[in-house]
Amino acid sequence: EVQILETGGGLVKPGGSLRLSCATSGFNFNDYFMNWVRQAPGKGLEWVAQIRNKNYNYATYYAESLEGRVTISRDDSKSSVYLQVSSLRAEDTAIYYCTMNWEDWGQGVMVTVSS
């Protein structure tokens, strides 16, 4: 059974940073691209970042709205993917989801940016 668990969310002050983690199991992590998607309260889904697998040299892609403030990374030995977000703004307040190939999604982790 595929399991995806995001952690690391919480309340952060504007200008702060945080690192989200996504631990996975139940599939061959090395084979898959991994994505982060976010959803602001009451809003739709917004793609944040993607990291490809080793076969694609771990290439990374980012949403333009976050580029320069976000870094996605992965640790294949831990079947985990990470999202580092800096210079946080109120509009970054959202549930952040980790997804494997759009087939399986975590429950999401809430990030609230507020003073």
Partner 1 sequence: DVVLTQTPPTLLATIGQSVSISCRSSQSLLHSNGNTYLNWLLQRTGQSPQPLIYLVSKLESGVPNRFSGSGSGTDFTLKISGVEAEDLGVYYCMQFTHYPLTFGSGTKLEIK
Binding site for partner 1 (CB under 8 A): 35, 37, 44-47, 50, 61-64, 97, 99, 102-103, 105-108
Is-contact 82 72, C-beta < 8 A? yes
Q: How far is the CB of 102 from partner 1 (least distance, A)?
A: 6
Output 35 or 79, the one with its CB closest to partner 1: 35
Q: How far is the CB of 62 from partner 1 (least distance, A)?
A: 8
Output 38 or 74, the one with its CB closest to partner 1: 38
Q: In this structure, what token pair is assigned to residue 48?
A: 């944040």
- CA–CA gap between residue 26 and residue 4 (Å, rounded): 9
Q: Tell which phi-psi region holds residue 8, choosing left (phi > 0), alpha (psi between -120 and 50) or beta.
A: left
Output 15 or 107, the one with its CB closest to partner 1: 107
Q: What are phi and psi of 36, to 5 degrees?
A: -115, 135
Q: How far is the CB of 107 from partner 1 (least distance, A)?
A: 6
